[in-house]
């Protein structure tokens, strides 16, 4: 394995990407880490202030769907590896505007792959594609997704991610590109954009606003702390078998209603409010179209081959996360600006 690497982290200014960059910059001073990000509504350089002056870190603004932008960064930064996280990532937005998801997630991934194919000649150069467990579809009350599960995506978001997974594998099979893919469950933690359930709920509790629960609140998600996801990416990038897939999950299933009750408990406690005083904020609203019922992931392969396991208990992780949102109110106010409020009103006001 090369010791000197110039790693392009696409989507590095987003939620998971920024946690990954902080880990890589601090842990591997011998690598150059290049954050390549278009800075859409979800990209925020404020998530990266901790590393912005680090010698082994560079930010390049660019669009993965632009051949010109991608060719330029590959050549100027002499990119040796890609960890690809740039994507449109929110299921609700994929329901209101599917085309943007095809443009970024499918065509953008293909543009990156074409440049990697053109620029690289060694199997040492790795294309790491970060994907989601949603490509496997929806589970009933029993069972788990694993690396053998057939693809059955149900939303425009998951269909676009599934397409990108297939294209990555096709470039490996057809052109010999060295790749690895991971499919992870729902992440939570600091710096997540408050369109996603956990930061949205914590922010609404704090501001005594209704907590919108889709349908009956019985849908189930497997939650993994983002710090554990980026540790898994680090392990897979360095030690994962090339041409293979790894499933990453938290063994931490919650129905949305139970999770919201836990968040109410933790947030009320943090705000010195009477236990459960925000329970009355829960508002059951019209369900998400095509709402997947349950996701659950079996991460045995990752645990056995690479000795990875989640480091935080769900209680520790959720408690730290609530504290972060309570203590970073300025971050929250800056990201919930006018554009966010337009989105929020369209998404929730008539529901």
So which residues are the catalytic ones? Answer: 133-134, 157
Q: Is 93 in the site for ligand NAD (CB under 6 A)?
A: no
67/77 Cα distance (integer angstroms) = 15
Least distance to ligand TDX, CB of residue 2, Å:
30
Which of these segments, 184-192, 261-269, 308-316, 340-348, binds ligand NAD (CB under 6 A)? 184-192
Residue placing its CB nearer to ligand TDX in the complex, 32 or 93 = 93
User: Binding to ligand NAD by residue 13, rule CB under 6 A?
Assistant: yes
Task: Answer whether 84's CB lies under 8 Å from 7's CB.
Answer: no
- Using rule CB under 6 A, residue 184 touches ligand NAD: yes
Where helices occur in 207-351 by DSSP H, the ranges are 226-239, 256-270, 300-306, 314-327, 329-335, 338-348
How deeply is 23 buried, as exposed, middle or buried, from its count of CB atoms within 10 A (0-12, 13-18, 19+)?
middle
Residue window 249-288: x/- pattern of binding to ligand TDX, with contact defined by CB under 6 A: -------x-------------------------------x
When asked if residue 102 is in the footprint of ligand NAD (CB under 6 A), the reply is no
- Interface with ligand TDX (CB under 6 A), residue total 16
Q: How far apart are CA 311 and CA 224, in angstroms?
A: 10
What residues have CB less than 8 Å from 302, skipping those under 6 apart? 232, 235, 236, 246, 247, 248, 308
Give the nearer residue to ligand TDX in terms of CB position, either 256 or 298. Answer: 256
Stretch that binds ligand TDX, among 75-83, 88-96, 107-115, 316-324 (CB under 6 A): 88-96
From the list 18, 69, 89, 160, which residue makes contact with ligand TDX (rule: CB under 6 A)? 89
36 — phi, psi (to 5°)? -115, 115
Answer for the pair 57, 25: CB distance below 8 angstroms, yes or no: yes
Strand-pair category, 220-225 with 253-255: antiparallel
d(CA 26, CA 137): 36
Is residue 90 close enough to count as binding ligand TDX by CB under 6 A? yes
Please choose which of ligand NAD, ligand TDX, none residue 13 contacts, taking the beta carbon within 5 to 8 angstroms, the exact cut-off set by kind: ligand NAD
Nearer Cβ to ligand NAD, position 82 or 211?
82
Looking at beta carbons only, is 146 or 270 nearer to ligand NAD? 146
For ligand NAD, how many residues bind (rule: CB under 6 A)?
Answer: 29
Q: Which of 69/89 has CB closer to ligand TDX?
A: 89
Under rule CB under 6 A, residue 108 binds ligand NAD:
yes
**253 token code pair:** 């299933």
Q: Integer distance in angstroms from the first to the last C-alpha of the chain?
A: 53
Q: 81-84 and 6-10: which strand pairing?
A: parallel
336 binds ligand NAD (CB under 6 A): no
Please name which of 157, 193, 195 lies closest in space to residue 345, comparing C-alpha atoms.
195
Query: Which 292-351 positions form the footprint of ligand TDX (CB under 6 A)?
Result: none
CA distances from 47 to 8, 39, 204, 249, 328 (A): 17, 12, 21, 24, 12
65 binds ligand NAD (CB under 6 A): yes
Residue 214 in the binding site for ligand TDX (CB under 6 A): yes
Q: Pick from 80, 125, 132, 298 the residue near ligand NAD by CB under 6 A.
A: 132
Residue whose CB is less far from ligand NAD, 63 or 228: 63
Interface with ligand TDX (CB under 6 A), residue from 10, 18, 105, 132: 132
The token pair at 170 is 């096709």
Write out the residues near ligand NAD by the rule CB under 6 A. Answer: 10-11, 13-17, 37-40, 42-43, 63-65, 85-87, 89, 104, 108, 130, 132, 161, 184, 186-187, 193
């Amino acid at each position: 394995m090369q010791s000197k690497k110039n790693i392009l982290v696409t989507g590095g200014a987003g939620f998971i990407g920024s946690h990954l960059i902080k880990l890589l910059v601090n842990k591997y001073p011998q690598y150059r880490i290049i954050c390549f990000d278009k800075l859409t509504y979800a990209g925020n350089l404020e998530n990266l202030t901790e590393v912005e002056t680090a010698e082994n870190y560079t930010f390049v603004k660019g669009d993965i769907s632009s051949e010109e932008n991608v060719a330029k960064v590959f050549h100027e930064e002499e990119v040796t590896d890609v960890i690809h996280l740039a994507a449109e990532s929110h299921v609700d937005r994929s329901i209101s505007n599917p085309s943007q998801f095809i443009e970024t997630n499918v065509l953008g991934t293909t543009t990156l792959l074409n440049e990697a194919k053109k620029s690289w000649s060694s199997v040492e150069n790795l294309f790491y594609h970060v994907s989601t467990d949603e490509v496997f579809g929806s589970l009933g009350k029993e069972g788990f997704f694993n690396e053998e599960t057939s693809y059955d995506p149900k939303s425009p978001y998951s269909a676009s991610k599934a397409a990108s997974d297939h294209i990555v594998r096709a470039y490996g099979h057809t052109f010999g590109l060295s790749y690895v893919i991971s499919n992870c469950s729902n992440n939570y933690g600091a710096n997540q954009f408050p369109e996603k359930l956990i930061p949205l709920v914590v922010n609404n509790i704090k501001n005594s606003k209704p907590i919108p629960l889709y349908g009956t609140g019985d849908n189930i998600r497997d939650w993994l702390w983002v710090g554990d996801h980026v540790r898994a990416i680090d392990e897979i990038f360095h030690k994962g078998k090339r041409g293979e897939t790894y499933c990453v999950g938290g063994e931490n299933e919650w129905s949305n209603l139970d999770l919201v009750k836990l968040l109410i408990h933790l947030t009320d406690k943090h705000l010195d409010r009477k236990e459960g005083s925000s329970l009355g904020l829960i508002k059951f609203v019209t369900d998400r179209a095509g709402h997947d019922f349950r996701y659950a992931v079996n991460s045995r392969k990752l645990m056995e081959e690479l000795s990875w396991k989640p480091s935080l208990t769900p209680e520790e992780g959720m408690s730290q996360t609530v504290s972060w949102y309570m203590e970073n109110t300025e971050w929250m106010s800056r990201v919930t600006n006018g554009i966010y409020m337009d989105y929020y009103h369209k998404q929730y006001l008539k529901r």
